[in-house]
Amino acid sequence: MWEGDAPSARKRSAAYAAWRPMHGGTGFVRAGFYRQRGTQWTTEMANPPIKNGVPALEIKNLEAWYGESHVLHGVDIVVQPGEVVTLLGRNGAGRTTTMRAIMGLTGARKGSVKINGVETVNMATHRIAHLGVGYCPEERGIFSSLSCEENLLLPPALKTGTPGMSVQEIYAMFPNLAERKNSQGTRLSGGEQQMLAVARILRTGANLLLLDEISEGLAPVIVQALARMIKMLREKGYTVVMVEQNFHFAAPLADRFYVMEHGRIVEKFGASELKEKMPVLNELLGV
């Protein structure tokens, strides 16, 4: 199932853990993914109304553990609707853990995580996803035995009215995927898999996107396509939180930046402050 960039066992199991609870336990074809406690899936559930002045994501004093290992030590992040925010940091700083903690995928978590004003810290992962959160984990999790198009058609079941992007819209955004629509997941390049992983989330109707290192290890031409995609999503009003190692990818895209170190936020600043923050970033990230 995990083809392409041969992720580590830790990352593989994290990917499976990420998909499973969000999509009903036995794969996301199950009807349960599209319904919430027996109710019809509605547009409103997939795209919670953006309330004036209410952040799309508001994290306060978030702590998270993997077993005994205390990884996040009080993270505070606020993202307004329509913003593109980048979470920077060195390897092991806790960026992936922050995303996993937002989704309720760490061992334990404490603090507050509000999605459009709704407290989720005690919610199960699938309910968090149903608030309109789309998580694209580092490992992508493409189903290699299915074709590119089948991967895109899995999340839908969207005959129930969810306003996810149509396959045609996806193909317009990523012509590469249109060309490769009949190719098996295994045969897609790393870049195509990455596009497909993000596209699959867009099919669900999620409007708060958590993207973990989408540019990692990809050819410059693919990284440029992903940058165009982020710009387009921003124009369409999506809220994006990106974890990035590639500062040069993130710098021109983000409205605001957070820098993590040892499970804490150690810097935050807006795009207009980027220039004056470069010495600090140099020290923290070596960019």
Ligand X SMILES: Nc1ncnc2c1ncn2[C@@H]1O[C@H](COP(=O)(O)OP(=O)(O)OP(=O)(O)O)[C@@H](O)[C@H]1O
The residues of the shown chain that bind Mg ion, judged by CB under 5 A, are 96
Question: Nearest to residue 264, comparing CAs of 77, 106, 112?
Answer: 77
Work out the number of other CB atoms within 10 angstroms of the CB of residue 79: 20
Q: Which residues 118-147 are close enough to bind ligand X by CB under 6 A? A: none
x-or-dash string of contact with ligand X, 262-281, rule CB under 6 A:
--------------------
CB of 93 to ligand X, least distance (A): 4
CB of 32 to Mg ion, least distance (A): 29
CB 247 within 8 A of CB 286: no
x-or-dash string of contact with ligand X, 13-52, rule CB under 6 A:
----------------------------------------
| 93 lies in the binding site for ligand X (CB under 6 A) | yes
CB of 272 to ligand X, least distance (A): 26
Q: Which stretch binds ligand X (CB under 6 A): 19-27, 31-39, 95-103, 181-189?
A: 95-103
As beta bridge partners, residue 219 has: none
User: Which tokens go with 162?
Assistant: 């969810």
Contacts of 47 (CB under 8 A, 6+ apart): 132, 163, 205, 207
Q: Which of 86, 97, 162, 246 binds ligand X (CB under 6 A)?
A: 97
Residue with tokens 């839908």: 156
CB of 212 to Mg ion, least distance (A): 6
According to DSSP, the β-strands at 239-243 and 84-89 are parallel
Please tell me the distance from the alpha carbon of residue 84 to that of residue 256, in angstroms, as a whole number.
Answer: 7
The dihedral sign for the CA sequence 43, 44, 45, 51:
positive
| 94 lies in the binding site for ligand X (CB under 6 A) | yes
Please tell me the distance from the alpha carbon of residue 166 to that of residue 87, in angstroms, as a whole number.
Answer: 29
| 110 lies in the binding site for ligand X (CB under 6 A) | no
| 224 lies in the binding site for ligand X (CB under 6 A) | no
| 92 lies in the binding site for ligand X (CB under 6 A) | yes
| 8 lies in the binding site for ligand X (CB under 6 A) | no
User: Which tokens go with 138?
Assistant: 């580092």
| 71 lies in the binding site for ligand X (CB under 6 A) | yes
Tell me how many residues contact ligand X (CB under 6 A). 12
Please tell me the distance from the alpha carbon of residue 218 to that of residue 241, in angstroms, as a whole number.
Answer: 19
CB of 96 to Mg ion, least distance (A): 3
Residue with tokens 């903690």: 101
The residue ranges that bind ligand X (CB under 6 A) are: 10, 66, 69, 71, 89, 91-97
